[in-house]
Amino acid sequence: MPNLTSIAFTSGAQTATGTVSTVDALMAQVSSKWIAGSGVGLTWTTHMSTELNSLASTNAILASADIVNGTALDRYMDVSLALAAITTPATAGLNVSLHIYNLSDAGAFYGDNRFVASAAGPPSIAPCATIPLVSSLTTTAQYGQATGIVIPPGTFRIVLANNAGVALNAAGNTLKYRTYN
């Protein structure tokens, strides 16, 4: 096959040009690295706080703020969870699950329109991430992260489901996120 010439390939901020014998060779010239998103980028941004206060075990709640990804079109999100001190039961499998609820085509509701107020779960939409919690009989703060969550284009919110075996603390809980490609 003759050499391909004057080919340029662009993916985000990555560009490759030149004379190559195959498209595969051109792709090999593109270096792979994480790129800060065009939305909030790598700045940790609070998505949920007061709506998590006193969230009962087995209940879920929809975030009160949107994540807008219609222009930025970021592909991935990391989340960081900080829960104020709680006493979790000595039970295996305790966690908090996160679910992406897209804004409806009519712009009137998110996902299945449940959890605008705290309600018994679980959510009907599959989790995008599960953050394990430490089972303990002592009162302690809980921290966790989930990385590489694929996010949709458009506007969405996170639903957090409490599977900790106890209600969350009455204050001091946050879920933050950052975006990238």
Give per-residue pLDDT as tens, 25-71. 555 555 578 898 888 999 999 999 999 999 999 999 999 999 999 99
Assess whether pLDDT exceeds 90 at residue 129: yes
Decide: 69 and 179 in contact? Cβ < 8 Å.
yes
How far is Cα of residue 48 from the mean position of the Cα atoms in its chain?
12
Mean pLDDT for 145-167 is: 97
What range does the domain containing 4 cover? Answer: 1-33
As for how many domains the chain has, the answer is 2
Cα–Cα nearest to 48, from 168, 150, 180: 168
Neighbours of 11 (CB within 10 A): 12
| pLDDT per position as a tens digit, 137-147 | 778 899 999 99
Domain assignment present for residue 70? The answer is yes
Amino acid (1-letter code) at residue 83: L
User: What whole-number distance in Å separates Cα of residue 52 and Cα of residue 34?
Assistant: 31
> What is the C-alpha end-to-end distance of the chain, expressed in Å?
34
Cis omega (within 30 of 0) for bond into 122: yes
The kind and range of the H/E element at 176 are: strand 174-180
How high does pLDDT run on average in the chain? 88
Domain assignment present for residue 40? The answer is no
Assess whether pLDDT exceeds 80 at residue 179: yes
Mean pLDDT for 144-160 is: 97
Q: Is residue 66 located within the same domain as residue 155? A: yes
| pLDDT per position as a tens digit, 72-89 | 999 999 999 999 998 888
CATH number of residue 149's parent domain: 2.60.120
Place of tokens 């305790």: 94
Cα–Cα nearest to 45, from 181, 179, 180: 179
